[in-house]
Amino acid sequence: MRVEQLNVGWLTAPAGIWRRDDDGDRQVRIPVPAYLIETATERILVDTGLHPDAAADPARRYAGAAALGLFGFEQDASIADQLDLTTLTQVVLTHLHFDHAGGLALLPPSVPVVLQRREWEASQDAAAIARNFYLPVDYAALDRQLVLVDGDHDLLGDGSIELLPTPGHTPGHQSVRVGERLVLGGDVTHFATGVDDHRFPVFADDFAAQAASADRLRALRDAGATVRPGHDPAVLTPGPVEV
Ligand SMILES: [Zn+2]
């Protein structure tokens, strides 16, 4: 299989937002990745990046979401600028935050979108929306193409790609194992060191669950897999790898 990391945006915020006990004054710019997995028969996109309207004017697209005023938004090219989205066979979402789900609105309605049921149910609940700052405009039309899974899930039925529930950052967050040696961790940790030091962002649905999920990814790393963190500028370099 071939896995290509794409850049689908940038976010800037104080270091202490992205990583607990970090500097509150220093601004840190982090990349927003998405991944294209190509097999002999499939073209699978993992996450969709920022919506171009959000990158251009977040206050307008997400009117009323005051917390987003903390973040600087940028985008060099949207997912639609980089891929012919009509060629995708399916899309996997790690979770429904705006930097992962923003590009959903650009997809053709015929492309299935695979999500943990727990994440979807949280996104339909007012209290969970507020707690997790989900932005419903990002997924308002998603039910037409939604495929819900529960727990560990063998995506292609041949063991090659496995969805791994890794909750905590959000209620139904999942990671993606691709082959035996690569795990797309999603936002279990923003930085690669987070699987060891558990210095997560200051916001989460459940920090204890997030720590357990980090331990799950650490065990995979210690068994020989490369675990890609969510937003580490020192580690995430666009380009393809063979797995
Ligand atoms: Zn994220």
Residue 204 has pLDDT above 90, yes or no: yes
- DSSP assignment of 15-77, as one string? HHHHSTTS-SSSEEEEEEEEEEEE-SS-EEEE-----HHHHH-HHHHTTT-GGGGG-EEE-SS
Q: Report how far ligand 1's centroid is from the alpha carbon of 87 (Å).
A: 25
Would 46 be classed as within a structural domain?
Answer: yes
Q: Report how far ligand 1's centroid is from the alpha carbon of 37 (Å).
A: 19
Q: Report how far ligand 1's centroid is from the alpha carbon of 98 (Å).
A: 8
Per-residue pLDDT at 172: 98
Q: Report how far ligand 1's centroid is from the alpha carbon of 133 (Å).
A: 12
Would 22 be classed as within a structural domain?
Answer: yes
Nearest to 10 by CA among 25, 22, 28: 28
Chain segment 128-187, per-residue pLDDT in tens: 999 999 999 999 999 999 999 999 999 999 999 999 999 999 999 999 999 999 999 999
Would 192 be classed as within a structural domain?
Answer: yes
Residues 204, 177: Cα–Cα separation, whole Å: 23
Residue 65 has pLDDT above 90, yes or no: no
Domain that holds residue 113: 2-236
- Helices (H), strands (E): how many in the chain? 9, 13
Cβ atoms of 99 and 49 closer than 8 Å:
yes
Q: Are strands 43-46 and 113-116 parallel, antiparallel or unpaired?
A: unpaired
Number of neighbours of residue 43 by Cβ within 10 angstroms: 17
> Mean pLDDT across the stretch 91-112?
98
Would 242 be classed as within a structural domain?
Answer: no
Q: Tell me the backbone φ, ψ of residue 40, rounded to 5 degrees.
A: -60, -30
Give me the CATH number covering residue 6: 3.60.15.10
Number of domains in the chain: 1
Would 243 be classed as within a structural domain?
Answer: no
**Sign of the alpha-carbon torsion through 17, 50, 31, 151:** positive
> Mean pLDDT across the stretch 55-61?
92
Using the structure block, give the residue that is written with the tokens 């903390």: 70
Q: Report how far ligand 1's centroid is from the alpha carbon of 97 (Å).
A: 6
